[in-house]
Amino acid sequence: MRKPRKIILSIAGAATLAVSASMAALAWGHGYTSDPPSRSALCASGEVTDCGAISYEPQSVEGPKGFPAAGPADGEICSAGHDTFAELDDPRGGNWPTTSVSAGPRTFTWTMTARHSTATFDYYITNASYDPTQPLTRADLGLTPIASFRMGGAQPDHTMTQTVTLPARTGQHLVLAVWNIADTANAFYSCIDVDFGGGSGDPTDPPTSTDPGTGEGCSAAAWAATAVYTGGSKVTHEGAAYTASWWTQGEEPGTTGEWGVWKRTSDC
């Protein structure tokens, strides 16, 4: 009677291992855009808080492929339809940190934790009707990719870089990057918040003011170290105007770097 019991226990043990392996695969695959940082990357780095589970597995935003005809439902695109990652769909009043961009070539970098056989990498960008204070829908996007990279089933490197030519836009927008897997029915989705500023000149040209003292934001009050500023707040500091991308206090404009809270808008 003991031998059948051992067989049963062995089968049960094997089943447990199979389930554990399956859950581990779900928890640890597979990739996300890290530069410019996607919402997933910002949550994982701690730059954005109150993100829930995505903070621990930014690579796991996996959903049905076939976008835009199929894929996640409108309003759930950034989370790929995962309730556990719903924080990615929350527009946060339009206050997700943005990356400054301009029309023209821009390099996008993916960080891969599992190298799947790949069909394509596709990139979409929002149109003129996009409202960053609302969840992303297909109506907000140009549904023809602005760039598509075909892999023919090859596996990507652990770090993938692709040059995407961004079209002319003004103000805050969102780039949707989709990694379509070749040998499964799924894809990975990354939402990247960007800001084209007031125009779309050459990416290497810094913001300028043709009339110093009257540039954008130059009438704003001087920055104060003790003051509290929220997203959209404007200040002047040491001959320049700045706009805050999110809540801040005590961070000096001009010292927070390209990815920091203060975005320089003009010379004053």
Domain of 251, in residue numbers: 206-268
Q: What is the mean pLDDT of residues 121-145?
A: 95
pLDDT tens-digit series, residues 70-127: 999 999 999 999 999 999 999 999 999 999 999 999 999 999 887 778 999 999 999 9
Residue 147: per-residue pLDDT: 95
pLDDT tens-digit readout, 5-15: 444 444 444 44
Q: Is residue 8 part of a domain?
A: no
Residues 58 and 145 in one domain: yes
- The overall average pLDDT reported for the chain is 83
What's the per-residue H, E or C state across the chain? CHHHHHHHHHHHHHHHHHHHHHHHHHHHCCEEEEECECHHHHHHHCCCCCCHHHHCCHHHCEEECCCCCCCCCCCCCCCCCCHHHHHHCCCHHHCCCCEECCCEEEEEEEEECCCCCEEEEEEEEECCCCCCCCCCCHHHECCCCCEEEECCCCCCCCEEEEEEEECCCCCEEEEEEEEEECCCCEEEEEEEEEECCCCCCCCCCCCCCCCCCCCCCCCCCECCCCCEECCCCEEEECCEEEEECCCEECCCCCCCCCCCCEEEEEEC
Q: What's the CATH number where 233 sits?
A: 2.10.10.20
- Is 255 in the same domain as 163? no
Q: Determine which of 96-100, 152-156, 206-210, 261-265 has the lowest per-residue pLDDT on average.
A: 206-210
Examine the domain organization and report whether 149 and 224 are in the same domain: no
Please report, rounded to a whole number, the percentage of residues in the chain having pLDDT higher than 70.
82
The domain boundary, picked from 143, 166, 195, lies at: 195
Q: What's the rounded mean pLDDT across residues 35-44?
A: 95
1 assigned to some structural domain: no
**pLDDT-derived band at 210, boundaries 50, 70, 90:** very low
156 domain residue, yes or no: yes
Please tell me the total count of domains within the chain.
Answer: 2
For residues 142 and 250, membership in a common domain is answered with no
pLDDT grade for 42, boundaries at 50, 70 and 90: very high
List pLDDT tens digits, range 226-243: 888 887 888 888 778 888
Structural domain contains residue 100? yes
Of 149, 174, 195, which marks where a domain is finished?
Answer: 195
pLDDT value of position 114: 72
Instruction: Judge if 227 and 268 occupy the same domain.
Output: yes
In the listed set 166, 195, 224, which residue is the last one of a domain according to the structure? 195
CATH number of the domain bearing residue 118:
2.70.50.50
Do 222 and 140 share a structural domain? no
Q: Is residue 5 part of a domain?
A: no
Q: What is the pLDDT of residue 53?
A: 95
User: Do 260 and 177 reside in the same domain of the chain?
Assistant: no
